[in-house]
Amino acid sequence: MSNLFDFDPREDDEEETDFDPFETSSDDEEYLPEPGENDESSEYESDDDEFVLSKDGKYCYYFEPPPQLPNRSNASFALHETPGPTLFASSRCTDILSSFLLFMEPIEKTIVEMTNLYGSRKYKELWLPVDIASLRAYYGLLILAGVYRSHGQCINELWDDQTGPPIFRATMTLKKFKLINECIRFDDKEQRKGIRSRDKLAPIRNVYDKWVNRLKMCYTVGKHVTVDEQLVPFRGRCPFTQYIPSKPHKYGIKIWCLCDANWKYEKKKYRRRLYLVELGKQLVTPYIANRKTRPRTPNANAVIDEIQNISSRSSSPTTSTSAAPTSTTNASRKSNLPNSQKLTHAPSAGKRSRCAHCEYKNNKNLYSNRCDKCITYVCNAHHFKLCTNCIDKL
């Protein structure tokens, strides 16, 4: 037992290695790290307090957002134009009809050409060519059918002589409407075969691209825009219809809309209805004015007579190109009239206005009498088939 406790470990060290206390080892020298060697470790140590690393080590979650320059935004989001309708659109919109045709003019010629091409192939010599006036009348009847809540209603009921609106029979016959509705096309069907396999919008691609380009020319979006989906109800034959049970109509075509929050429709719904009624009437009026055949119902004939009388009155000899000296004399005659007798706008039929020859302070009543020559409103005292100025010029 005494031998175990008498063991000295230094004896083995002396036997194995020769220890020199004055010998200096490389491990005892002071270690001076190279410059930049511990930069990475210092960065990790300093960044430990700024972010948290995810479990998989792929994502870093910072406690503070990255610094941003004050009053500085990305150049791609800068607005270089004034939001709203462009100058191109506002300079061409003078009434309801011109605002509608602003979007339809680029594609009307294509629709007329493709419709006549398909109709001539199907009906041969029996096909009557469609022009722009008849195509606009077709648009107008579709708009009026929507205004009159005719969704799901039989087309024959709209042309009924007792229950249907008279303007439908006054515009065109039911056979003509069905013929346009059957043959209306937006492209050449024979040239569509190679494109249909890679483009589901091939039947309307040409017209759709023109319409999208015209939208960019007419409107500039602002900062506050929203992108959302909308399901347009449709149950016809279409390769991209969808079924969404959460939507009210469930079946339809899903489109993505880019909406500007600063520009919206009017809150009162009756204004939109009045706009559509007036738009439909202005679209069918030129076609009714040139119609030669007459329907059998008296109500439709009354509509045709009213529109044709107004159009013949507006195209009087004073405004035609063949009567240029007469229009010049009328213009000079109106320029010599006092301000109370000058017309600021062309009067329309069925309106009432103040007398053009009475003093303004005593001219409070509205009259429907008009001079047969200059078409100005006159009171009973100044109404003798011709106004007093026209009588003096005789």
What's residue 112's pLDDT? 94
Contact 374, 387 (CB under 8 A): yes
What's residue 309's pLDDT? 84
Tell whether 274 and 344 lie within a shared domain: no
Q: Where does the pLDDT of residue 362 fall: very low under 50, low under 70, confident under 90, or very high at 90 and above?
A: low
Q: How far apart are CA 165 and CA 278, in angstroms?
A: 15
Tell whether 349 and 293 lie within a shared domain: no
Taking residues 191-216, report their average pLDDT. Answer: 86
Tell whether 150 and 296 lie within a shared domain: yes
Q: Domain range holding 374?
A: 339-393
Q: Is the dihedral of CA 32, 34, 37, 42 positive or negative?
A: positive
Phi-psi region of 79 (alpha: psi -120 to 50; beta: other; left: phi over 0): beta
Tell whether 250 and 281 lie within a shared domain: no
Q: Does residue 233 sit within a domain?
A: yes
Instruction: Read off the pLDDT of residues 122-158 as tens digits, 9 standing for 90 and up.
Output: 998 889 999 999 999 999 999 999 988 887 788 888 9
Tell whether 253 and 214 lie within a shared domain: no
Tell whether 304 and 196 lie within a shared domain: yes
Tell whether 298 and 256 lie within a shared domain: no
Mean pLDDT for the chain?
A: 74
Q: How many domains does the chain have?
A: 3
Q: How far is CA 331 from CA 54, 100, 252, 318, 374, in A?
A: 84, 32, 57, 10, 11
pLDDT at residue 35 above 70?
no
Supply angle C-alpha 306, 137, 270, rounded to 5. 75
Q: Where does the pLDDT of residue 103 fall: very low under 50, low under 70, confident under 90, or very high at 90 and above?
A: confident
Instruction: Read off the pLDDT of residues 292-323 as tens digits, 9 standing for 90 and up.
Output: 888 888 888 888 888 888 877 766 554 333 33
Q: Does residue 66 sit within a domain?
A: no
Q: Where does the pLDDT of residue 337 fall: very low under 50, low under 70, confident under 90, or very high at 90 and above?
A: very low
Tell whether 176 and 146 lie within a shared domain: yes
Tell whether 245 and 286 lie within a shared domain: no
Q: Does residue 246 sit within a domain?
A: yes
What's residue 393's pLDDT? 55
Q: Where does the pLDDT of residue 344 fall: very low under 50, low under 70, confident under 90, or very high at 90 and above?
A: very low
Of residues 116 and 71, which shows the higher confidence score? 116
What's residue 258's pLDDT? 85
pLDDT at residue 282 above 60?
yes
What's residue 60's pLDDT? 85
Q: What SS3 state is found at 35? A: coil
Taking residues 267-287, report their average pLDDT. Answer: 82
